[in-house]
Amino acid sequence: MASRAGTNSAPPGVAPPAPAESRPGRIPYLDNLKILLIAVIIAIHGVLGYTDTGWWSYGDAREVTLTTASTVILMMVAGPFGLLVIPLLFLVAGLLTAPAVQRKGPGQFARDRLVRLGVPFVVYVAVIQPAVVYAVDHRYGNAYGSYWREFLGSDGQPDAGPLWFVGALLVYSLAYAGWTAVRLARSRPARATAVGARQLGIAAAAIVLPTFAIRTVWPLGGESFTDLNLWEWPACITLFGLGTVSARRGWATALPPEVQRRCRTATLAASVTLLAVSGVVVGPLGLDGDVLLGGWHWAALAFAACDCVLAVFGAVWILGLIQRFDRYYRWTGPLARLTYPAFIVQTPVLLGAAVALRPIDAPAEVKAFLVAGGGVAASFALAELLRRGVAWLPLVSAHGNR
């Protein structure tokens, strides 16, 4: 693969995009990566709405379901990648958080995070998510009680939807800012800790047992009292911390080639092992596939181990791959500033698209494709409308972790 891709050519009379070095505070490939990841997450959610996994809001209201063959193919193709997408986002967040705290100072950084992450999170969890999901479930799904009883009363529980990521990132960001403030108060400069394949292996091994233990209480994809996906926290915290540490090693600009090669090998090995374990469990052993997701079972431990290797090594490997696209394309700037609001509005967009397609007599595979593709485009389009109409709001007024 070429070390650079794309073109910055512009039609006559139109100025070409400014080169990366002329955009202070921006790292081109990270903007490209965020666009890709948010689009993939929205598309995956659109497809999951037509499965019986219960991992997306439309699942209880779906009118058609993907066939077993389609679900198996989906899990084989997208499963391993799906396990490392969120850890990769936390790795990117960590890479950007360390220099942001250094530039702004812990106090100002914490205040900015409370506004940019905290305000949208509270508004979304308290108003948008429960209202939109209840409107669909009450008519088509299993929400038969009142709005208060289903989502806000004693029988309900918080529903953070996809913004669990924002809530978790806020917690990690404030914790890092606090730790930095204490370190500065004690006049202890940050050390450039060595980070290589060996350290990554230690990190992956260290989170296997915590991940397994948490999933005995809250299985993968299961709810928790916080609805912040606690079953994923060991990997997410580790990747966020790895990002803050490796930022001082220059990983935000160039991942060491040897580290990338070893990460590729570990990622491919973990993917093959994960698929083999899953196949044995649901094949020759004839066990329910849910045993992989959590509980006191060897299969859950094996799945957690593969998941942790994918989260650590896979996220770093993908980061190195995307660094080859370290330039601005025509679409990078316009789409990069929309990634956060597009991520926020995906639930109403995807649910609206699925409801609009309900009257159409078509297989679940067709509807999943339309909702996934259309949901990505519509989420970014709605984000642009929000940006133009209410640009003063913290969730749409800026982008990145600057």
pLDDT per position as a tens digit, 81-124: 888 899 999 999 999 999 999 999 999 999 999 999 999 999 99
pTM for the whole structure: 0.86
**Torsion over CA of 259, 261, 266 and 267, rounded to 10 degrees?**
110
Q: Name the average pLDDT for the chain.
A: 84
For residue 168, give both structure tokens: 């978790």
Can you give the pLDDT at residue 20? 39
Q: How far apart are CA 65 and CA 241, in angstroms?
A: 39
- Return the exposure string of 83-92: e unless at least 16 CB atoms fall within 10 Å of the residue's CB, then b: bbbbbbbbbb
Q: How far apart are CA 367 and CA 33, in angstroms?
A: 27
pLDDT (tens digit per residue) in 282-310: 778 777 778 888 899 999 999 999 999 99
Is pLDDT at 191 greater than 70 in this prediction? no
pLDDT (tens digit per residue) in 2-26: 333 333 444 444 444 444 344 446 7
Whether residue 197 contacts residue 262, with contact meaning beta carbons closer than 8 Å, is answered with: yes
Instruction: Calculate what percentage of the chain has a pLDDT beyond 70.
Output: 87
Can you give the pLDDT at residue 188? 67
Can you give the pLDDT at residue 396? 53
190 pLDDT band, cuts 50/70/90, is low
Q: Of 379, 389, 393, give the one whose Cα is nearest residue 338.
A: 379
List, as own/partner pairs, every contact residues 195-201 make where C-beta atoms lie below 8 angstroms and the sequence separation is at least 24, other chains included.
195/242, 195/245, 195/246, 195/249, 195/251, 195/259, 196/256, 196/258, 196/259, 197/258, 197/259, 197/262, 197/263, 197/266, 200/242, 200/259, 200/262, 200/263, 200/266, 200/312, 200/313, 200/316, 201/266
153 pLDDT band, cuts 50/70/90, is low
395 pLDDT band, cuts 50/70/90, is low
Q: Of 377, 360, 372, give the one whose Cα is nearest residue 50.
A: 372
221 pLDDT band, cuts 50/70/90, is confident
pLDDT (tens digit per residue) in 252-266: 888 888 888 999 999
Lowest mean pLDDT among 57-61, 144-148, 326-330: 144-148
Number of C-beta neighbours around residue 156 at 10 A: 16
Can you give the pLDDT at residue 156? 64
Lowest mean pLDDT among 23-27, 156-160, 236-240: 23-27
Can you give the pLDDT at residue 72? 81
pLDDT (tens digit per residue) in 359-377: 999 999 999 999 999 999 9
Q: How far apart are CA 357 and CA 334, in angstroms?
A: 29
Can you give the pLDDT at residue 81? 82
Residue 231 makes CB contacts below 8 A (sequence gap 6+) with 211, 214, 215, 218, 219, 220, 221, 222, 224, 294
Number of C-beta neighbours around residue 27 at 10 A: 19
Is pLDDT at 37 greater than 90 in this prediction? yes
Q: How far apart are CA 135 and CA 140, in angstroms?
A: 9
Structural domain spans, the chain = 29-66+337-402, 85-326
Is pLDDT at 394 greater than 60 in this prediction? no
Q: Of 36, 11, 2, give the one whose Cα is nearest residue 330.
A: 11
Is pLDDT at 333 greater than 90 in this prediction? no
Q: Which ranges of 284-363 does DSSP label H, i.e. alpha helix?
A: 298-309, 315-322, 332-336, 339-357
Can you give the pLDDT at residue 60? 85
